Amino acid sequence: MDFSLSEDQTALQATAKRFAEAELVEIAREVEENDQPPSPAVVRRFAEMGFLGINLDADHGGHGAGHLEAVLVLEEIAKVSPAIAFPVFESCFGPVLAIQHFAGEALKRRVIPDVCRGEMMIAVSMSEPDAGSALTDLKTRAVVRDDRVVIRGQKRWCSGAGHADAYVVYCRMSDAPGAKGIGAVLVEKGTDGLTFGARERHMGFRGVASADMFFDDVEVPADNLIVGAGGFRQLMEAFDLERLGNTTMSLAIAQSAFDHVLGYVQERRQFGKPLVDFQAVQLSLAEMKMKLDAARLLLYRAVVNAEAGLPSIADSSIAKCFANEMVREVTGKAMQLMGGYGYSASYPIEQKMRDGWGWGIAGGAIDIQKVNIASSLVGRRFSQRAV
C-alpha cells in the first residue's frame, strides 16, 4: 500500500495549483462579489488545460485518467473558489457519470464530448418540494410515448438551474412504488415547457445558480432516456461518485482556510509575541491538521477503490460525512484564531465558512450519510418512515 502520489500525479497537481493561483484569483473575487457563475471563457480555458472530463472515457472525448487525478485537480482549483471549480466538479463528478455508465451510445456521443470541450455543463435535478432526503417520494413523472418522453412535475434545489445547459432529471416512470418506479432522462435547457423559478439566494455558494424547475409536458427524444423505471439504484451508484466530488470541495475549502490561518498566526502578534507561540493556538493547529489528513486519506481510499468503476456507498458516505463535518470545524477554528479579521468580509475565512457549511447539506445531508454507513455495517437498509 503506497500513500504517495506518482510523479505524473504530482506534476498534474502542481500544474493545477499554478494555473489556479495565476489565473483564477481575480476571477474568483468577481464571482463572489457579483454572485454570477464563471463565464464561458473560463470554462473553455479549463478545457484547454485538460481539466474537464479528466476521468471520463477517452472514447467519448474524456482524458481517460483516474478519479484520483480528477480529485487532485479539483482540489487545487476549489482552494481558490468552489464556485470557479464548479464546472470541473460537474464534468468529473457530476451527473455526466450517470450518462457515461448507463446511457445509450447515441446519447453518450452527443453529450460527453461537448462537456469535455467546455461547450456543455450538465446538472442533476433530483430534489422536489416534498422529496429531499426522502428522494424516493418524488412525483415528477415521465411517460414514454413512441419515440418521445413526456415529463411533468417540479424540481427544487438544483445547483446549476437556469445556468447549466442540460439536466439529468430523476422521474417516476412507472406506477411501481418507491425506488422501483424511478428512472432518469436528460432534458436540455430551452426545451419547450421547461421553465425556471426565481434564483435562490443562499448563505454561501455565491456564483452557483440554484432555482426551482418546472416541467409542463416537456418532450424530449426517447434517446435522452438514461435509465428507465427500476434504475434508481444505478443512478445512486453514480451519485456516490458525485459525493466524492462534494468531499473534495469540503477538503479544498478546509485546506485553504488552514493554509491562510497558518500564515496568519505566525505573523500576528499579541502580548509581545506571535500567536503561534501560545499553546492553545498550537493545539488548534494540530487538531485542524489531523482532521485534514484524515479527510484526505478517506477520500483517496474511496476514489482509488473506485478506479474500476463506481465507489461503494460505504466508502463514499464515510468520506463525505467526515469531510462535511471537518470543514465546518476547521473553518470555525480558523475564524476563532483570526478573531475580528476572520469575521470580516475583507478576509477570506468568513466566505470559506459560509461555503463549507453548505456541502454538508448538498449531495445528501450528513445524517443521511450516517444512516448509509450504519446500513453498510449490518447489510440492510433502514426505513425512516413511520410504521
pLDDT at 1: 77
State the sign of the Cα–Cα–Cα–Cα dihedral 308, 52, 68, 315.
negative
pLDDT band at 308 (very low <50, low <70, confident <90, very high): low
pLDDT at 134: 87
Q: In this model, does residue 383 exceed pLDDT 90?
A: no
Q: In this model, does residue 387 exceed pLDDT 70?
A: no
Overall average pLDDT of the 236-258 stretch: 95
pLDDT at 73: 98
pLDDT digits (tens, 9 = 90+) for 9-56: 999 999 999 999 999 999 999 999 999 999 999 999 999 999 999 999
Note whether 161 and 150 are within 8 A (CB).
no
CA–CA distance, 125 with 245 (Å, rounded to integer): 17
Beta-bridge partner residues of 172: 141, 182
pLDDT digits (tens, 9 = 90+) for 273-304: 999 999 999 999 999 999 999 999 999 999 99
pLDDT at 280: 97
pLDDT digits (tens, 9 = 90+) for 68-83: 999 999 999 999 999 9
Q: In this model, does residue 153 exceed pLDDT 90?
A: yes
pLDDT digits (tens, 9 = 90+) for 345-372: 999 999 999 999 999 999 999 999 999 9
The grid coordinates of residue 194 equal 421547461
Beta-bridge partner residues of 168: 124, 186
Phi, then psi, of 155 in degrees rounded to 5: -120, 155
Domains contained in the chain, CATH given: 7-116 (1.10.540.10), 122-230 (2.40.110.10), 233-378 (1.20.140.10)
pLDDT at 312: 87
pLDDT digits (tens, 9 = 90+) for 117-152: 999 999 999 999 998 888 999 999 999 998 999 999
253 CB-side CA count, 13 A: 35
pLDDT at 156: 95
